[in-house]
Amino acid sequence: MNTSARQLHLNAFLYGTGHHEASWRLPQAEPELNLDFNHILKIVQTAEKGLMDSVFLADGYVGRSNKLEPFTELAALASRTKHIGLIATVGTTYNDPFHVARKFASLDHISKGRAGWNIVTGAGSAAHNFGREEHPEHSLRYEEADEFVDVVKKLWDSWEDDAVRNDKVAGQLIDKNKVHTIDHQGKYYSVQGPLNIARPPQGYPVLVQAGSSEAGKEFAAKIAEVIFTAHQSIGSAQQFYADVKSRLFKYGRSPDELKILPGISPIIAETESEARDIEEALFNFIDKEGAVARLSERLGIDLTDHPLDSPLPIHRLRETKEVNGNKSRHQLILDLINEERLTLKQLISRLGGARGHYTFTGTPLQLADVIETWFLNGAADGFNVMPQIYPDGLEVFVDQVIPELQNRGLFRNSYEGNTLRDRFGLRRPQNSLSYRQISSITNTQNI
């Protein structure tokens, strides 16, 4: 048994009927329940039963995803759960800092300190949905996001922790001397403040980031407290882990202040043979023509007539520097093709399982071995668990994999503390504005 005090962190990535693109076509799948709150609640309660750190809702502003808006969904889930963290993706490119600060502060208050913000700049262009002519360039989006997050933090800090008095005797509801303007004047944003809600219980909701490009890694080292990332091998994960952790020192941060959680997308059964049968059934349900069309668009080459059992022509594919969307995921696909010489069929199967995340097919004990190996060998602080089939895949993970991790001394036996920060072992940030010479608000009507 591992006796180290270091413990795994496990997040459940919620995703309809499962992370395999064909999961909805399985006989037992119920895609009609994707918008059914009680169905989603049962899945989240399963994760909470397994003592998982958090659940995560990805989001975007394009496509035909047919899923609930994350703030609405997580606020409802907060009222029906007690311990599990609630993380939502909210992009910076097509939002406003004041609105995002207010919504996350509200979610953190509603959940009593269990909110987390997955910060993205926008992997896919939504310009046409927001009155813009084009999607901003990759590096520009990160520059803007840096200032966006800075403004949001200042707004959270515009209320000192003890600003709310509720003193009936003194007749003081809020101490106006402890609520401050932020007077931010930057390159992209001009915000006076203050926020119109008290500082979140956690100080800041846990800050999560999911980009693994060069700009994304630097942004994460400066700002993030948790990273969701994708790797196809332990070697790649180890390189990423060492790279990002080494960048923390320039920002005055220690390695413990950032938790790295690679995605792992399992198919689990009693025997490896049974798991392989499930994997083959899922592949047979994949829309091959649609998968080829998406790959053709991503890779910049027409693969319509390319034989399924032939390797892909790496020299003819679009280079990562030409991509203005998710650069890290594009590079991951190129590396897969180049290093493993995958055929078109193999690539479709690999990406169909979890869009480039590490896929696993086997038994609960075999999965526990993989998790332990990555965790103890500098590749991960935990995992972003992405079952290829929901809800069955998460139920098996909670009922059979987590107990094995507990037996090995790798995972908690009870929740520690009350907040998501407590789960991840993260400190509550001090109020950055408490130590500045700033003017307090004099007009209580603004409060």
Give the list of residues 6+ apart from residue 86 with CB closer than 8 angstroms, or none.
Answer: 54, 55, 74, 77, 78, 107, 111, 114, 115, 116, 420
Q: Is 283 contained in some domain?
A: no
Predicted local confidence at residue 215, as pLDDT: 85
pLDDT tens digits for 24-53? 999 999 999 999 999 999 999 999 999 999
Which helix (H) or strand (E) is 229 found in, with range? strand 226-229
Predicted local confidence at residue 326, as pLDDT: 62
Structurally, how many domains does the chain consist of?
A: 1
What distance in Å separates the CA atoms of residue 92 and residue 86, rounded to the nearest whole number? 19
Residue 254 identity: S
**Predicted structure pTM score:** 0.89
Stretch 126-141: mean pLDDT, rounded?
82
Q: Is 345 contained in some domain?
A: no
- The two tokens of residue 88 are 């939502």
DSSP 176: G
pLDDT higher than 60, residue 91: yes
The dihedral through the CA atoms of 304, 305, 308, 311 has a sign that is negative
CA dist 403 to 1, 73, 151, 259, 411, Å?
13, 29, 42, 22, 9
DSSP 189: -
DSSP codes of every residue in 342-400: -BHHHHHHHHHHHTTSEEEEE-HHHHHHHHHHHHHTTS-SEEEE--SSTTHHHHHIIII
Over the chain, what is the mean pLDDT?
90
What distance in Å separates the CA atoms of residue 199 and residue 157, rounded to the nearest whole number? 6
The highest-confidence range among 84-88, 138-142, 318-322, 433-437, by mean pLDDT, is 84-88
Predicted local confidence at residue 414, as pLDDT: 97
Predicted local confidence at residue 401, as pLDDT: 98
Q: Is 318 contained in some domain?
A: no
**pLDDT interval class at 118 (50, 70, 90):** very high
pLDDT higher than 60, residue 319: yes
Predicted local confidence at residue 325, as pLDDT: 62
Predicted local confidence at residue 318, as pLDDT: 80
Stretch 399-410: mean pLDDT, rounded?
98
pLDDT higher than 60, residue 4: no
**pLDDT interval class at 289 (50, 70, 90):** confident
Q: Which one, of 384, 390, 387, 389, lies nearest residue 371 by Cα?
A: 384
Stretch 302-328: mean pLDDT, rounded?
77
Predicted local confidence at residue 335, as pLDDT: 76
CA angle 380, 242, 148 (to 5 degrees): 85
Q: Is 359 contained in some domain?
A: yes
The tally of CA atoms less than 13 A away on the side-chain side of residue 247 is 17
What distance in Å separates the CA atoms of residue 413 and residue 50, rounded to the nearest whole number? 9
Predicted local confidence at residue 124, as pLDDT: 61
pLDDT higher than 90, residue 385: yes
Q: Are strands 164-167 and 172-174 parallel, antiparallel or unpaired?
A: antiparallel
Q: Is 1 contained in some domain?
A: no
CB 384 within 8 A of CB 263: yes
Q: Is 417 contained in some domain?
A: yes
Predicted local confidence at residue 437, as pLDDT: 45
Predicted local confidence at residue 106, as pLDDT: 98
Phi, psi for residue 199 in degrees, rounded to 5: -55, 140
**pLDDT interval class at 3 (50, 70, 90):** very low
DSSP 179: B
213 versus 251: the higher-pLDDT residue is 251
pLDDT tens digits for 157-180? 999 999 999 999 999 999 999 999
Long-range contacts of 126-131 (CB under 8 A, 24+ apart): 126/60, 126/61, 126/62, 126/93, 126/94, 129/61, 129/62, 129/94, 130/61, 130/94
Stretch 95-105: mean pLDDT, rounded?
97
Stretch 290-318: mean pLDDT, rounded?
81
Domain range holding 382? 9-271+354-441
Predicted local confidence at residue 123, as pLDDT: 56
pLDDT more than 90, % of the chain: 70
Predicted local confidence at residue 443, as pLDDT: 46
pLDDT higher than 80, residue 86: yes
CA dist 293 to 77, 125, 257, 323, 382, Å?
37, 18, 41, 17, 34
136 versus 117: the higher-pLDDT residue is 117
- The CATH number for 250's domain is 3.20.20.30
**pLDDT interval class at 445 (50, 70, 90):** very low
- The two tokens of residue 406 are 């507990």
pLDDT tens digits for 191-201? 999 999 999 99
Q: Is 446 contained in some domain?
A: no
Q: Which one, of 268, 254, 234, 221, lies nearest residue 18 by Cα?
A: 268
CA dist 95 to 85, 90, 125, Å?
23, 8, 13
CA dist 171 to 55, 191, 370, 447, Å?
41, 31, 60, 15
What distance in Å separates the CA atoms of residue 48 and residue 52, rounded to the nearest whole number? 6
310 versus 328: the higher-pLDDT residue is 310
pLDDT tens digits for 190-248? 999 999 999 999 999 999 998 778 888 999 999 999 999 999 899 999 999 999 999 99
Predicted local confidence at residue 45, as pLDDT: 98
CA dist 356 to 88, 146, 201, 331, 349, Å?
21, 27, 35, 10, 10
3-state DSSP helix/strand/coil % of the chain, to nearest 5: 45, 15, 40
